Chain A
Amino acid sequence: MTLDPILLRRGIPVSPSPYAVEAHGLVKTFGDNTAVDGVDLSIPRGGIYGVLGPNGAGKTTTIRMLATLLRPDAGEARVLGYDVYTEPKTIRENIALTGQFASLDEDLTGIENLILLGRLLGFSKQQARKRGRDLLEAFGLAEAADRQVKKYSGGMRRRLDIAGSLVVTPELMFLDEPTTGIDPRSRNQVWDIIRTLVAGGTTILLTTQYLEEADQLADRIAVIDHGRVIAEGTPGQLKSQVGAGALKVRVADPVQREEAAAVLERAVGGVVVREKDSAALSARLGEGASASPSLAALEEAGILVETFSFGQPSLDEVFLALTGKPAESEENDDAEPEIAEAAR
């Protein structure tokens, strides 16, 4: 579908495609390292789409290809209906990128960063300054306007980074690990900002290595590992894909845990996991199994139970089931190649 780019530039709302992103078989190789190995994505317009995966899984490389910073080695991709190979300029007019490493000039002040972006996006100097001041105020950075960004805290940097992506409102915003390395309070602020942007009509494509973040924010999630999408769906669908839920028990007295484990093993007929918490146990139930016999068995054995829950598995468990390794192993060093490539 072709559309007059002049119309777009004038801002006449056009909707060339119901999809924000359609990608098929995207591949990117750096030397011997195949960072992205045939990624398929269909991201509808509106809402938040989460790309979840450990470090080095290929999330950043995928985003960089979609944001027209990297040319894919193979595959097809359309962003907002435009081809990444032939229409990169039109794509750039309608997207914004907030990179994993703050996309800001650390030597300049907050306001100078925003004026710079405003000028490049076509505002006059006065307009760019006013726009910058407005954004700084809305993002709670007015007092830090004339401070160099290198003196900002991690949370402030993130907010300025997002403000920089909103000098003009993008139709699609890429947020690469927006809360990695910032404190919980700032993380909550960033989450609120993201939700506000979506309410304003922007589509958000967000990568994260935090399962909680994807669960909290995303309408749909693609799980990426070793450069491939290994699962896709709503958080609920992903959880149910792993099978029935998990049974979680916490005994009142840790001394009774072993006894409780034995009782549970008999009742469930499966493996019981001893959690790090010395009073906690968990067990996976088979399809269609009921949890009530377990509770009855524990009571009968005279074991005092503090908490007893049965529900859908957490995304942590989903990740473990899908990749065969726990999400915690993210912190290891296989992150290095991707970061190094991204930084180059």
Chain B
Amino acid sequence: MSQNTDTPPLSQEHRDLPTSGAKAGAAGSGAAAEQVSAAGISAVLLPTDQRPTPSGALSGSVTFGWRAMLKIKHIPMQLFDVTIFPIMMTVMFTLIFGGAMGAVVSGSGETGGAAITEYVQFFIPGIFVQTLIMITMYTGLTLNKDISKGIFDRFRSLPTWRPAQLVGALLGDQVRYTLAGTIILTVGFIVGFRPDGGVSGVLAGFALLLVFSFCLSWVWTMVSLLMPTEEAVMGVSMTLIFPLTFASNIFVPTATMPGWLQPVVDANPVSVLVTAVRELMDGTYDAASIGLVALYCLVLVAVFAPISMYLYNRKS
């Protein structure tokens, strides 16, 4: 199965090609590099009995994840949303709303520096979740743009495990989420976030959030396959994200809301997630809330991954 057993003429041919190219190049011919010979092409054709077995689910997904990494390498600008945006969100919400909200959250009625420090303990895990969830939206935008290109026709014509093309993209996004999360937490520590759960608690909360983000991304995958344009994907995603993140306990405790709204906000998967992340970072480990997050994750994948694959396979 190794292609190292290529027939001898192949390597012979190949030793010759660059030499002739170099000679012509020295003579100043710009076309030298474009030399294509029938013999060279015949020699490079792989005998059909040396075809390897196509990549499986895992290696296929990892390869598509590698592609996402290469894209970041070539277009570092696409990291703008996961670097500047989180810093902006954290600093803005802490300094502008922190004082007023801290007064409420702490119950002391005092505003200013002390109230901000108080609020930061409550708010950082929340904005951490909020920002990452907002960033998951870009998964759909990128995919919608990507899928419309010719390369996806080729991917779909390969004998690989088809979901690898989507799973790989989502795996690649995990790197972006990790970067964004690290930035938020760093800014958080700078403005005074001191969680009781310590490093292990913070890491556990981080891990839980990454898992949830991966599962939630399947919703955006579905949206990106349903919508004809990037703008439409953006519109739909925003419409879903705003109630999902703001009708939650990210900014203020549920208890401060009208009675009829409280059960709705409590049932919001984002509230459940934020509660679990807060508990983990606080060091108050609660199996029930983590279990509930896991349940939401399962449901998200079980519903949206198959729909996405169905749409992807029938994409024209």
Residues of A within 8 A of B (CB): 9-13, 30, 64, 67-71, 89, 92-93, 95-108, 112, 116-117, 119-123, 127, 130-131, 134-135, 137-144, 148, 155-156, 159, 164, 166-169, 171, 189, 192-193, 195-197, 199-200, 341-344
Q: How far is the CB of A8 from chain B (nearest CB, A)?
A: 9
The verdict on B67 contacting chain A, using a C-beta distance below 8 Å, is yes
Q: Which residue of A lies closest to B156 (CB)?
A: A69
A107 & B74 in contact (Cβ 8 Å cutoff): yes
8 Å CB interface, B33-47 against A = 33-38, 40-47
Q: Which residue of A lies closest to B51 (CB)?
A: A168
A167 to B157, CA, bound (A): 13
A119-B59, A122-B52, A123-B3 as given contacts; A69 in contact with B157, CB under 8 Å: yes
A70 CB contact (under 8 Å) in B37, B41, B316: B316
A140 & B55 in contact (Cβ 8 Å cutoff): no
In the assembled complex, 14 residue pairs joining A and B whose CB atoms fall closer than 8 Å, in A order, are: A11-B49, A71-B314, A103-B153, A106-B149, A108-B70, A108-B74, A112-B70, A117-B154, A137-B40, A140-B36, A155-B34, A166-B44, A195-B38, A341-B316
A103 & B151 in contact (Cβ 8 Å cutoff): yes
The verdict on B53 contacting chain A, using a C-beta distance below 8 Å, is yes
A68 to B157, CA, bound (A): 7
The verdict on B303 contacting chain A, using a C-beta distance below 8 Å, is no
A189 & B44 in contact (Cβ 8 Å cutoff): no
A116 & B67 in contact (Cβ 8 Å cutoff): yes
Which of B10-18, B248-256, B273-281 makes up part of the contact surface?
B10-18
A89 to B55, CA, bound (A): 13
What is the 8 Å Cβ interface bit string for chain B, positions 229-269, against chain A (1 contact, 0 not)?
A: 00000000000000000000000000000000000000000
Contact residues in B for A140 (Cβ distance below 8 Å): 21, 33-36
Contact residues in A for B287 (Cβ distance below 8 Å): none
Contact residues in A for B7 (Cβ distance below 8 Å): none
Contact residues in B for A97 (Cβ distance below 8 Å): 153-154, 157
Q: Which residue of B lies closest to A70 (CB)?
A: B316
Contact residues in B for A99 (Cβ distance below 8 Å): 150, 153-154
A92 & B36 in contact (Cβ 8 Å cutoff): no
Contact residues in B for A71 (Cβ distance below 8 Å): 314
Residues of B within 8 A of A (CB): 2-4, 10, 13-14, 17-18, 21, 33-38, 40-55, 59-60, 63, 66-67, 70-71, 74-75, 148-151, 153-160, 164, 228, 314-316
Q: How far is the CB of A192 from chain B (nearest CB, A)?
A: 6
A107 to B158, CA, bound (A): 20
A164 & B158 in contact (Cβ 8 Å cutoff): no
Contact residues in A for B41 (Cβ distance below 8 Å): 138-139, 193, 196-197
Contact residues in A for B315 (Cβ distance below 8 Å): 344
A10 to B52, CA, bound (A): 8
A9 & B36 in contact (Cβ 8 Å cutoff): no
Contact residues in B for A108 (Cβ distance below 8 Å): 67, 70-71, 74
A12-B49, A104-B150 as given contacts; A199 in contact with B157, CB under 8 Å: no
Contact residues in B for A343 (Cβ distance below 8 Å): 148
Q: How far is the CB of A80 from chain B (nearest CB, A)?
A: 12
Q: How far is the CB of B38 from chain A (nearest CB, A)?
A: 4
Given A64-B153, A137-B44, A200-B42, 17 more pairs with CB closer than 8 A: A99-B150, A99-B154, A104-B150, A105-B151, A108-B67, A116-B67, A117-B158, A122-B51, A131-B46, A138-B40, A141-B34, A142-B33, A148-B74, A166-B45, A168-B46, A193-B41, A344-B316
A159-B36, A200-B45 as given contacts; A134 in contact with B14, CB under 8 Å: yes
B75 & A103 in contact (Cβ 8 Å cutoff): no
B3 & A130 in contact (Cβ 8 Å cutoff): yes
Q: How far is the CB of A173 from chain B (nearest CB, A)?
A: 11
Q: How far is the CB of B166 from chain A (nearest CB, A)?
A: 14
Q: How far is the CB of B6 from chain A (nearest CB, A)?
A: 8
A192 & B36 in contact (Cβ 8 Å cutoff): yes
Q: Which residue of A lies closest to B63 (CB)?
A: A119
B36 & A102 in contact (Cβ 8 Å cutoff): no
A122-B53, A142-B18 as given contacts; A127 in contact with B4, CB under 8 Å: yes
A107 to B71, CA, bound (A): 6
B3 CB contact (under 8 Å) in A106, A127, A142, A342: A127
A107 to B149, CA, bound (A): 12
B36 & A138 in contact (Cβ 8 Å cutoff): yes
Contact residues in B for A144 (Cβ distance below 8 Å): 33
A101 & B54 in contact (Cβ 8 Å cutoff): no
A12 to B315, CA, bound (A): 33
Contact residues in A for B150 (Cβ distance below 8 Å): 99-104
Contact residues in A for B228 (Cβ distance below 8 Å): 344
> What are the 5 closest A-B residue pairs judged by CB atoms, nearest first?
A122-B52, A11-B49, A103-B154, A101-B150, A138-B44
Contact residues in A for B21 (Cβ distance below 8 Å): 140, 142-143
Residue of B35, B41, B164 with most partner-chain A CB within 10 A? B41
Q: Which residue of B lies closest to A61 (CB)?
A: B316
Q: How far is the CB of A342 from chain B (nearest CB, A)?
A: 8
B36 & A193 in contact (Cβ 8 Å cutoff): yes
Contact residues in A for B70 (Cβ distance below 8 Å): 107-108, 112
Q: How far is the CB of B142 from chain A (nearest CB, A)?
A: 11
A100-B150, A189-B36, A344-B148 as given contacts; A67 in contact with B157, CB under 8 Å: yes
B157 & A95 in contact (Cβ 8 Å cutoff): yes
Q: Which residue of B lies closest to A200 (CB)?
A: B45
A135 to B45, CA, bound (A): 9
A239 to B37, CA, bound (A): 33
A70-B316, A95-B157, A103-B150 as given contacts; A137 in contact with B18, CB under 8 Å: yes
A143 to B33, CA, bound (A): 6
B51 CB contact (under 8 Å) in A11, A67, A92, A119: A11
Residue of A12, A103, A104 with most partner-chain B CB within 10 A? A103
